[in-house]
Amino acid sequence: MLKVSWLSGVRALWVIVFLIAMPASVAGNPLQLLLTDSQLNWIGEQVFRNECGSRKPCLVHWNEGEAFPSLGIGHFIWYPDGVDGRFVESFPALVRYMKSRSVTLPDWLEAEEVPPAPWEDRAMFRASANSTRVEDLRNFLANTKGIQAEFIVHRAQASLERVLNAVPAGQRPPLRDRIAALGSTPGGTYALIDYVNFKGEGLAESERYHGQGWGLLQVLQAMSGDPDQSALSQFREAAGQILTRRATNADQAIERERWLPGWLNRLDTYREPDGEAY
């Protein structure tokens, strides 16, 4: 196992995140890193700001127009009993990861199998949004940002090889080159990690509108390859095109009218940090 020492503040963190994001095909073997709590907490705060505007109530939330609540700094999806949604569920995977890391969970989440979300629909959730159980869950998630960040990075690292392996062998070299180019800069590395958490890998057949996906794979494929543009600029533009296509294809007008502007604002943060910002 490779240990990475603390160098200096956030600048060191970008070095660490770069290594994490490097695909296994480039690194030789899957890369495992030991990060300090302060480093993981810093990553968590960035994702928390993207997903929740750093607002604690948003840690347990149910968006209008969705059939599921979103939890934690990464707005991990948790389906109620009987709901079989098109999006990849992620909150149970977070809970299982926490168990593997010996995190003490709320008693009602300690069962061997992660239960479905305890609210049947958004109306039921809203009626109990200030209950003791929900507030305790918010407090738990507020106090475990570091391990949630570790899960996000772990998932993103694993996703890179899955994305490459999902295309025919002859199509992999340009995608591998694009991942490597993104992973060579702080802004590009952050974009890779955040986008996987934000919109997924793009591999699930259920995550398609009219047969067209919107995950990391689709964004990498849509990058222009223009040698006069940085990889990060290409990624940002391609992601905007892919998410606009998703909203256009969606049956729900809310995706076009309310969600798309927020998605595009988030993509605008995919830029290289200025000066001492890192």
pLDDT tens-digit map of 152-168: 888 888 888 899 999 99
E strands, 96-244, in order: none
Q: Which two tokens stand for residue 86?
A: 């098109």
Residue 72 CB: number of other CB atoms within 10 A? 32
Q: What is the pLDDT of residues 37-74, one digit of tens each?
A: 655 566 667 788 888 889 999 999 999 989 999 999 99
The pLDDT assigned to 112 comes to 87
CB of 61 closer than 8 Å to CB of 107: no
Give me the phi and psi of 276, to 5 degrees please.
-80, 5
pLDDT in tens, 92-103: 999 999 999 999
Confidence of residue 207 (pLDDT cuts 50, 70, 90): very high
Mean pLDDT over each residue of the chain, to the nearest integer:
83
Q: Which long-range contacts (CB under 8 A, 24 or more apart) does 35-41 make?
A: 35/4, 35/150, 36/6, 37/146, 39/6, 39/12, 39/13, 40/145, 40/146, 40/147, 40/149, 40/150, 41/145, 41/146, 41/149
State mean pLDDT over 181-191.
81
Question: What pLDDT is stored for residue 48 in this prediction?
Answer: 86
The whole-number pLDDT of residue 41 equals: 62
Residue 84 clears pLDDT 90, i.e. is over it: no
Judged on CB neighbours under 10 Å (0-12, 13-18, 19+), 172 is middle
